[in-house]
Structure 1
């Protein structure tokens, strides 16, 4: 999918995929990359950059062209998303929940709730989530609803609700939010689509040491209103023959983001070695770029980067096969295979990617530890993304499956 042989090309956009170029995304992706370090230093939230991506249809890539999108395949979506992650992983990560909503809606487009999500996407809007982490500390606790109850206000002919969402990744930039709630008139659980209004606020209070600009703070909903027309019945129960692993997209997307960061590490490694002005006194060459051990280190970074991207591509290809098999006889097997491929990729990439980011510092030594270059962000961002659904549980599952045939869990957090 991705040709990493060009990471040391002198042209500033050579690392961007031909697909992104064809779609007209190359300029904005290059601009995002050029300003990423400055945003990190200044803690400048990427409102403008995300707005530009929305405007050219990044959030609508998967929609058919006759419905306001670009009509790309799932694997092609992830090619472009990796380009964005190589430019700034915060921005790619911020789109994840929206892109998952679109992916789900494309499968269930006949349901009015999902049709609404697709309509918003066609308008170049993005949709966030209104689910929160459960307060229950028991193992296996499930997420709870933010707007747990929507009260009917007859004087205004609409529903009103309040609540908060923690770890609201991307919600700072989203135009609408979806979730579940009990509506007061009939006492039934419904799905809702809530568009941003004065009652929605987002705090930039995410305290992570990486991915600092994803808008992952607290989302607050105060007396927000939802028209009755934007409440929908729950999705019908899945067929007993359907594959129960419906959340593999999440993990593949995050691993794909890490692959993008690793590509940026390789690009930065070239820049570091080309611009490093002096060698150690005990070096064997006058200029660092001519130093054999540093050339070897750069080659190591290049080789491992290619391996990381190839491993991610394998998981993406498996996810595409599962997508193609949706609703068909082979869906169960293809989806299970994608889940295992995603786990295998995560185990490998979560180990290798931080090491590659550390090699970048070795390559530049004291010349690159200044906060001005913000090169430490790569290691930090990798580790924070990797902390989602830790690989330790993936490793155990892979071993159990070989020994006993153990199947993966079906919950969203795996």
Structure 2
């Protein structure tokens, strides 16, 4: 990666971690937003924005203050993620696997290895993911073709992973593998480890700069303390532990919706022409265009409210877990948060896609110029909405409403 050149407007941000309410975050997000459209248009990977995030220790938001973090609640975390996604949906998406890793393996360490991962995050390290295998019949699921092989006192792995979002920008990567006994495990490895190759071959219509391509493991050495088997009470396999990454994607879409409102407002204010049959000669005085903008504004408000309400439900479950409440109480609260996250996705995905189309009603034909790159909002939102399709969530929400059937507790719901 090239050396990071810190823009002067963001130079004062270095040396975090930043509190979620720190005014300096505005400068950070403004700096990231300033180049967002150009980066997407020219396909410039966002190494510089990720360098700023690493320098400001933004990835340590959820670590305790005494561990070098900001001690943020889930509500504060998702408020920050929404603002970051408004600035650049690609950059926000890149950090999804990082914040999920922090929650599962670093925030409350149980051993020396996890203590080390927490220190790395506190120092600014970013963590990526290598989970999905393209030949798997179930997306993101097991069995994995990447299997641990004994190698002295440790292990080795060989395999290929796809959808490795964020790994090309990361310092560590979490790798999902099978164990020789037939179970599953997580490996946390340095991305510079000999034998790891990261390929930027993601060719999706949207979220083009997330580095969601291939990670290849060529006889890579794995140390014993880099292995976390499933079933240890943390990480993968814990009931409803994936509500966080599920809500995260929905929050990125809510941020895209806020960006649509920002761009639609600027478009309407800058319009010098209108239709020959428009009710007024001045675009900002046109009630039809005012209504379209107002609907986008209402949708953005609703999306933010749903995200923050769901994040508060995660805080309730987290507080119960920290207080030593019974597993029944914790699971009930976690299921309640999962319900809210599913409902939020069903609504926010629709609101964002509709608003990203309404943007062109507000802007007119000139808004469709390729160089303006406003179509990125719809493309990005459509790509994010395709993760774990809303139809599956809506169906199970309906089943729950009929007879109380709980949502699936497993990973990819």
Q: So what's the TM-score if we normalise by structure 2?
A: 0.87
Output aligned runs, 1:84-103, within 5 Å. Answer: 84-103=84-103
Tell me the residue number matched to 2:299. Answer: 304
> Deviations for 1:265-311, whole angstroms, at most 9, x for unmatched residues?
00001110111121112223332122222122212211221112112
- 1:5-24 aligned at under 5 Å gives the runs 20=20, 22=22, 24=24
Which deviates more, 87-96 or 304-313?
304-313
Task: List aligned pairs for 1:6-405, cutoff 5 A.
Answer: 20=20, 22=22, 24-106=24-106, 108-133=108-133, 135-137=135-137, 142-145=141-144, 147-152=146-151, 159-181=155-177, 191-197=186-192, 198-232=194-228, 235-237=231-233, 244-326=239-321, 327-329=324-326, 330-405=329-404
Further displaced range: 30-39 or 192-201:
192-201
**Gap regions ≥5 residues in structure 1:** 1-17
Deviates more, 1:305-314 or 1:335-344: 305-314
Aligned pair in 2 of structure 1 residues 188, 166: CA closer, same or farther (>3 Å)? closer
Is the contact made by 1:201 and 1:220 (CA closer than 8 Å) also made in structure 2?
Answer: yes
Aligned-residue offset at 1:378: 0.6
Closer/same/farther in 2, CA of residues 122 and 276 from structure 1, 3 Å limit: same
Moved more, 212-221 or 141-150: 141-150
> What is the CA–CA distance in structure 2 between the aligned matches of 1:235 and 1:107, rounded to whole Å?
18
Deviation at 1:388, TM superposition (A): 0.9
Give the whole-Å Cα distance in 2 for the aligned partners of 1:150 and 1:243.
25
* CA deviations over 1:2-21 (Å, ceiling 9, x no partner): xxxxxxxxxxxxxxxx9655
What whole-Å deviation, never above 9, does each CA across 1:221-256 have from its counterpart, x for those lacking one?
A: 223333344345555258xxx972221111111111
Query: CA distance change for structure 1 residues 70 and 107 in 2, over 3 Å: closer, same or farther?
Result: closer
Q: Report the CA distance between 1:66 and its aligned residue.
A: 2.5
String of CA shifts for 1:346-405, please: whole Å, max 9, x gaps: 111112111011111111111200111111111111111111111111111111111121
Equivalent position SS for 1:225 = strand
Asked if the contact 1:243–1:336 (Cα under 8 Å) also holds between the matched residues in 2, the reply is: no
Verify the 8 A CA contact 1:111 1:235 in the aligned structure 2: no
Give the CA deviation at 1:181. Answer: 4.6
In 2, Cα distance between the equivalents of 1:170 and 1:192?
A: 16
Instruction: Give me the whole-angstrom Cα distance separating, in 2, the residues matched to 1:166 and 1:316.
Output: 29
Asked whether the 8 Å contact 1:117–1:127 carries over to 2, the reply is: no
Deviation at 1:35, TM superposition (A): 0.9
| CA distance in 2 between partners of 1:65 and 1:107 (Å) | 11
State the Cα deviation string for residues 5-62 of structure 1 (Å, max 9, x = none): xxxxxxxxxxxxx965516322121011111110111011101111111110111111
Q: 1:23 to 1:119 in 2, by over 3 A?
A: farther
Cα pair 2:60 2:69 within 8 Å, conserved: yes
Contact 1:132-1:146 within 8 A present in 2 as well:
no
List per-residue Cα deviations over 1:159-196 (Å, max 9, x = no partner).
44322111111111111122355678x99976432112
Gap change, CA 1:114 and 1:358, over 3 Å in 2: same
Query: In the superposition, relative to structure 1, how do residues 279 and 64 fare at CA in structure 2: closer, same or farther (>3 Å)?
Result: same
Tell me, in whole angstroms, the C-alpha distance in 1 between the residues paired with 2:274 and 2:215.
Answer: 49
Q: Is the 8 A contact 2:130 2:167 kept in 1?
A: no
Alpha-carbon distance change, 72 to 274 in structure 1, aligned in 2, over 3 angstroms: same
Residues 161 and 224 in structure 1, CA contact (< 8 A), matched pair in contact too: yes
Worse-superposed segment, 218-227 or 78-87: 218-227
Q: Look up the SS of the partner of 1:325 in the other structure.
A: helix
> TM-score, normalization: structure 1?
0.86
- The verdict on how the C-alpha distance between 1:237 and 1:286 changes in structure 2, with shifts beyond 3 A counting, is closer
Please give the root-mean-square deviation of Cα atoms over the aligned residues, in Å. Answer: 2.6
The SS at the match of 1:278 is: coil
Q: What secondary structure, in the 3-state scheme, does the structure 2 residue paired with 1:372 have?
A: helix
CA contact (8 A) 1:206 1:212 kept: yes
